[in-house]
C-alpha cells in the first residue's frame, strides 16, 4: 500500500534466524518497515518454509536470500554478513536497512554503513520518515534522556531495539517471492575465521520461556534471592516472562551469563520489569531503566531501585513472589 | 609487542549526565573519568606484555590513546596509573560533533601514525563506552584499518602471531582466530582490572602526554566532526521523572498487592 509517505522507498529488513522462524524482533521490524516503504526481507541463510509463510502474513512480497560463495564465507562472521548486505543494498537500491539491535547486528550495521557511506542510528525505539528524512528516536543515559536523530545521507541503517512496537501482521497476506543473490566475500572479510560455534542448551532448561532480550515481561533476581531463583522463575512462568539477573547473581553462579541484565549484559526495555532482591546499582539500571513499567520487591526500603520504580513492595521476595504468582494464575483462570 | 588501547573520557556513571544545546554529550573535567570498560582493555594489554619473555618485553609497549579535549587527560592519567607506557591525545576543534564514523576515523589515524615507527600488533578496546553504548567503534576501527575484528572477547590469547578469542553471545559461544595485527574488543568478563599501586599513581602525575592535532595524523577537518557526520541530533530532552513510587510494605498481602497493581493497570 504505497501512499505519499512510502512512495518509491525501499526498506530492507534483515532477518535474524530465517532458517527457523521469525522471532518477535523480526516481526516488530516488519511492522515498522511497512510504514516506511516497500519492504524486502533479507536472509543470510536459507529460509525455512515457516519463515516464508510468516513473511507472507506480514505483507512482504520479496525475500532476498544471499548465497555465500567460498569456503570460509560464514554468515556468522560479522564482516561477511556486512558484505552480503552491501550486495543486497546495491541490488535493491534500498533507502533504509533495518536490523534488530543485538551486539552483533550493531557491528554488522556499522560495517555496512561504513562501506556504503550510510548514516547509522543504533538502538532506535521508533523510526519514521518526514521532512528530515529518516528519523530515529533513542533513549540514552540509562533511559533518562530522549534524543531524536536524523540521517543526513541518502541511505539509512537503523538498528531497532526489541519491544519498540507491538508486532502485527499485514491486513492482507501476500505471496512472498524468494530470490537468490550470490555473494563472494572479500579476503579481508574472512581474515578472522570462525574456529567453532557452539549453541548453548536453553538457559531456561527448555521451559519455553521467551528470550530475555526480546521478552515483553521480565522477572529478574539479584543478591537478595540468596541463590534461590525458584520464586523468580515461578512468577516469571505465571506471567509468561523471561528470567533475568544482576551481575552479582551471575558471578555467584546462580544463573548463566545469558541472563545478565545490564550495560555489559543484555539491555532490555520490556513492557513490565519486576526486580526482586535487586538493589538497583547503576550498571543494572543502565540495562533496564527504559522499561515501560518497573516493579521492585526488596526488603530494604532504602534500595535505590525504588527511586526508579512505579510500584514497590517492601518485603521478603520468598513470600511476595509466590503469592503474586498464585494471584496472577487465578486471575488468568 | 606493541599494543594500542583507545580509551574514552566519559561522564561518571553516578553523575547526572546531560546533553548540550548542540545535542552533544556534556563533558566536564570535574565529573569525568576513564570509561570503566576500558580498564579491562588496558588490563588485557598489560597481561599480554607481562606474559612475554624478558627480551620481548623490553621492546614492547602499551600506548593509551584518546580523542577528545584537554579534559580527557584525566582518562589518560588513569591509564598511566594502571601501567601503560605512553599516552597520546588527539585534540582538534574540528573533531567536535563527530559521529561514530568520525571518531573511528580519528582513532584509526592515530593508530596509523603510531604504526609509522614500528608495527602495531594489536588494538584492544573496551566493549562499549558507558555514555554512548554504541559499541561499534571497534568494528569501525577494524574497517578503517582493514584489519580483522575479534570483538567481545571473554578470553584472549596470542601465540605465534595468531590471535584467538572466545566470545559468549546470546545463547552461543564462538571461537574466532586471526593473524595479528588485529582489532580486539574485550568484555568485563575477560579479567579483573588491577588497582593502581602507589608508585604508579605518583609517577602518573608527571608522565608526559603526547598531544596531536589532525594535521599530525594526516586528517582533514572535513573528514571528521560535525562536517563529516552522517547523522544529526534534532532534539534532546531529559525524560520526565516517573511519578512517585507506590510503595507497599508486606504484612502478609504484599504479593496480592503486586498482582492487583498489574491487573488494575491491564498489565496481565
- Ordered DSSP codes for chain B: -EEEEE--EEE-TTS---B-TTS-B---SSSEEE-HHHHHHHHHHHHHHHTS-HHHHHT-EEEEEEES-GGGHHHHHHHHHHT-SEEEEE--GGGTT--HHHHHHHHHHHHHHHHTTS---EEEEES--TTT----HHHHHHHHHT--EEEEESEEEEETTEEEEEEEETTEEEEEEEESSEEEEE-TTS--PPPPPHHHHHHHHHPPEEEE-GGGGT--GGGSHHHH-SEEEEEEEEPPPPPPPEEEE-SS-HHHHHHHHHHHTT--
Q: Are residues A168 and A230 in the same domain?
A: no
* Per-residue model confidence (pLDDT) at position A2: 39
**CA dist A41 → A5, A49, A56, A61, A128 (Å):** 20, 14, 11, 9, 18
**CA dist A272 → A24, A215, A225, B268 (Å):** 16, 9, 20, 10
Contact A124, A158 (CB under 8 A): yes
Give the H or E element holding residue A234.
helix A230-239
Predicted model pTM? 0.89
Q: Is residue A200 part of a domain?
A: no
Which tens digit of pLDDT belongs to each residue from B183-193?
999 999 899 99
Q: Are residues A34 and A136 in the same domain?
A: yes
* Per-residue model confidence (pLDDT) at position B242: 77
* Per-residue model confidence (pLDDT) at position A1: 41
Pairing mode of beta strands A145-151, A133-140: antiparallel
Give the H or E element holding residue A238.
helix A230-239
For A232, the 3-state DSSP assignment is helix
Q: Is residue A195 part of a domain?
A: no
Closest alpha carbon within chain B to A314: B249
Which residues of chain A are within 8 Å of residue B97 when distances are taken between CB atoms? none
Per-residue confidence at B265, pLDDT binned at 50, 70, 90?
Answer: very high
Per-residue confidence at B130, pLDDT binned at 50, 70, 90?
Answer: low
A109, A123, A199 ranked by CB distance to B171: nearest: A199
Q: Is residue A102 part of a domain?
A: yes
User: Taking 50 as the threshold, does the pLDDT of residue B25 lie above it?
Assistant: yes
Going by C-alpha positions, the residue among B15, B52, B47 that lies closest to residue B30 is B15
What CATH number has the domain bearing residue A299? Answer: 3.40.50.1220
What gap in Å lies between CA B147 and CA A284, rounded to an integer?
A: 33
Q: Is B147 on the interface with A (CB under 8 A)?
A: yes
Straight-line distance from the first to the last Cα atom of chain B, in angstroms, rounded to the nearest whole number: 58
* Per-residue model confidence (pLDDT) at position B236: 86
What gap in Å lies between CA A208 and CA B196, rounded to an integer?
A: 46
Which residues of chain B are within 8 Å of residue A132 when distances are taken between CB atoms? 234
Mean pLDDT for chain A? 92
What gap in Å lies between CA B196 and CA B194, rounded to an integer?
A: 6
Which tens digit of pLDDT belongs to each residue from A212-248?
988 999 999 999 999 999 999 999 999 999 999 999 9
Q: Indicate yes or no: CB of A313 within 8 angstroms of CB of B248.
A: yes
B236, B255, B262 ranked by CB distance to A321: nearest: B255
* Per-residue model confidence (pLDDT) at position A3: 45
Q: Are residues A321 and A219 in the same domain?
A: yes
Q: Indicate yes or no: CB of B189 within 8 angstroms of CB of A257.
A: yes
How near does any CA of chain B get to the CA of A318, in Å?
Answer: 10
What gap in Å lies between CA B191 and CA B82, rounded to an integer?
A: 14
Q: Which CATH architecture has domain B2-228?
A: 3-Layer(aba) Sandwich (3.40)
* Per-residue model confidence (pLDDT) at position A6: 64
Q: Are residues A231 and A287 in the same domain?
A: yes
Q: Is residue A205 part of a domain?
A: no
Which residues of chain A are within 8 Å of residue B176 when distances are taken between CB atoms? 192-195
Nearest 5°: the CA angle A289, A293, A297 is 85
Going by C-alpha positions, the residue among B235, B97, B127, B251 that lies closest to residue B191 is B127
Question: Which residue shows C-alpha cell 588513569?
Answer: B78
Residue ending a domain, among A134, A159, A190, is A190
- Return averaged pLDDT per consecutive 10 residues of chain A, 333 residues in all: 63 95 93 96 96 97 96 92 98 97 94 97 93 88 81 96 92 96 95 93 66 92 96 96 95 90 86 96 87 94 93 96 97 90
* Per-residue model confidence (pLDDT) at position B132: 62
How near does any CA of chain B get to the CA of A90, in Å?
Answer: 19
Q: Which domain holds residue A45?
A: 10-190
Q: Is residue A165 part of a domain?
A: yes
Give the distance from CA A156 to its chain's centroid: 19
Q: Is residue A1 part of a domain?
A: no
Question: Which residue shows C-alpha cell 532534539?
Answer: B235
Mean pLDDT for chain B? 91
Give the H or E element holding residue A242.
strand A242-245
Q: What is the DSSP letter of A189?
A: G
Q: Is residue A183 part of a domain?
A: yes
Sketch the domain layout of chain B as residue ranges.
2-228
Q: Are residues A245 and A153 in the same domain?
A: no
* Per-residue model confidence (pLDDT) at position A262: 87
For A307, the 3-state DSSP assignment is helix
Residue ending a domain, among A142, A160, A190, is A190
Give strand pairing partners of A97. Answer: A12, A157
* Per-residue model confidence (pLDDT) at position B30: 58
Q: Are residues A90 and A216 in the same domain?
A: no
Residue ending a domain, among A135, A160, A190, is A190
* Per-residue model confidence (pLDDT) at position B245: 84
What gap in Å lies between CA B268 and CA B258, rounded to an integer?
A: 11
Q: Are residues A121 and A262 in the same domain?
A: no
Q: Is residue A283 part of a domain?
A: yes
Number of domains in chain A: 2
Burial class (CB within 10 angstroms; exposed 0-12, middle 13-18, buried 19+) of B240:
exposed
For A327, the 3-state DSSP assignment is helix
Q: Which of B11, B136, B266 to mutate to test the interface with A (most CBs of A within 10 A)?
A: B136
Amino acid at each position: 500500500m504505497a501512499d505519499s509517505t512510502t512512495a518509491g522507498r525501499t526498506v530492507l529488513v534483515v532477518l535474524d534466524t530465517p532458517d527457523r522462524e521469525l522471532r518477535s524482533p523480526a516481526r516488530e521490524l516488519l511492522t515498522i518497515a511497512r510504514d516506511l516503504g516497500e519492504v524486502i526481507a533479507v536472509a543470510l541463510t536459507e529460509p525455512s518454509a515457516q519463515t516464508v509463510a510468516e513473511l507472507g502474513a506480514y505483507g512482504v512480497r520479496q525475500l532476498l536470500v544471499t548465497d555465500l560463495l567460498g569456503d570460509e564465507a560464514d554468515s556468522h562472521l560479522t564482516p561477511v554478513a556486512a558484505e552480503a548486505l552491501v550486495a543486497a543494498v546495491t541490488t535493491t537500491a534500498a533507502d533504509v536497512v533495518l536490523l534488530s539491535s543485538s551486539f552483533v547486528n550493531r557491528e554488522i550495521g556499522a560495517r555496512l554503513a561504513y562501506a556504503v557511506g550510510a548514516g547509522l542510528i543504533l538502538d532506535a525505539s521508533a523510526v519514521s520518515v518526514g521532512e528530515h528524512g529518516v528519523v530515529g528516536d533513542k533513549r540514552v543515559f540509562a533511559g533518562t534522556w530522549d534524543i531524536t536523530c536524523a540521517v543526513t545521507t541518502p541511505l539509512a541503517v537503523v538498528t531497532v531495539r526489541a519491544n519498540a512496537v507491538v508486532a502485527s501482521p499485514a491486513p492482507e497476506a501476500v505471496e512472498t517471492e524468494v530470490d537468490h543473490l550470490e555473494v563472494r566475500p572479500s579476503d579481508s572479510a574472512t581474515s578472522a575465521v570462525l574456529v567453532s560455534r557452539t549453541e548453548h542448551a536453553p538457559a531456561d532448561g527448555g521451559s519455553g520461556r521467551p528470550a530475555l532480550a526480546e521478552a515483553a515481561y521480565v522477572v529478574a533476581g539479584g543478591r537478595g534471592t540468596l541463590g534461590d531463583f525458584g520464586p523468580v522463575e515461578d512468577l516469571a512462568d505465571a506471567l509468561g516472562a523471561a528470567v533475568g539477573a544482576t551481575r552479582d547473581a551471575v558471578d555467584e553462579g546462580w544463573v548463566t551469563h545469558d541472563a545478565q541484565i545490564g550495560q555489559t549484559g543484555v539491555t532490555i526495555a520490556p513492557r513490565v520489569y519486576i526486580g526482586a532482591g535487586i538493589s538497583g546499582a547503576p550498571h543494572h539500571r543502565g540495562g533496564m531503566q527504559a522499561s515501560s513499567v518497573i516493579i521492585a520487591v526488596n526488603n530494604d526500603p532504602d534500595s535505590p531501585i525504588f527511586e526508579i520504580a512505579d510500584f514497590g513492595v517492601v518485603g521478603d521476595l520468598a513470600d511476595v513472589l509466590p503469592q503474586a504468582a498464585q494471584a496472577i494464575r487465578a486471575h488468568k483462570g | 609487542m606493541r599494543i594500542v588501547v583507545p580509551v574514552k573520557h566519559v561522564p561518571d556513571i553516578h553523575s547526572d549526565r546531560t546533553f548540550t544545546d548542540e545535542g552533544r554529550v556534556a563533558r566536564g573535567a570535574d565529573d569525568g573519568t576513564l570509561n570503566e570498560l576500558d580498564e579491562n582493555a588496558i588490563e588485557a594489554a598489560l597481561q599480554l606484555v607481562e606474559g612475554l619473555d624478558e627480551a620481548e618485553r623490553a621492546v614492547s609497549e602499551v600506548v593509551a590513546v584518546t580523542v577528545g579535549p584537554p579534559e580527557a587527560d584525566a582518562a589518560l592519567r588513569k591509564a598511566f596509573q594502571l601501567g601503560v607506557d605512553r599516552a597520546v591525545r588527539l585534540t582538534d576543534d574540528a573533531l567536535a560533533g563527530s559521529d561514530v564514523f568520525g571518531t573511528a576515523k580519528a582513532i584509526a589515524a592515530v593508530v596509523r601514525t603510531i604504526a609509522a615507527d614500528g608495527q602495531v600488533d594489536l588494538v584492544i578496546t573496551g566493549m562499549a563506552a558507558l555514555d554512548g553504548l554504541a559499541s561499534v567503534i571497534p568494528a569501525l576501527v577494524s574497517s578503517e584499518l582493514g584489519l580483522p575484528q575479534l570483538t567481545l572477547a571473554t578470553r584472549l590469547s596470542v601465540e605465534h602471531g595468531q590471535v584467538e578469542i572466545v566470545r559468549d553471545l546470546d545463547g552461543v559461544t564462538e571461537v574466532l582466530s586471526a593473524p595479528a595485527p588485529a582489532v580486539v574488543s574485550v568484555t568485563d568478563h575477560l579479567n579483573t582490572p588491577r588497582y593502581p599501586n602507589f608508585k604508579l599513581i605518583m609517577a602518573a602525575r608527571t608522565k608526559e602526554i603526547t598531544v596531536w592535532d589532525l594535521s599530525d595524523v594526516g586528517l582533514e577537518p572535513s573528514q571528521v566532526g560535525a562536517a563529516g557526520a552522517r547523522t544529526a541530533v534534532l532534539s534532546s530532552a531529559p525524560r520526565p521523572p516517573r511519578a512517585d513510587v507506590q510503595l507497599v510494605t508486606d504484612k502478609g498481602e504484599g504479593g496480592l498487592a503486586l498482582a492487583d497493581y498489574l491487573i488494575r493497570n491491564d498489565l496481565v
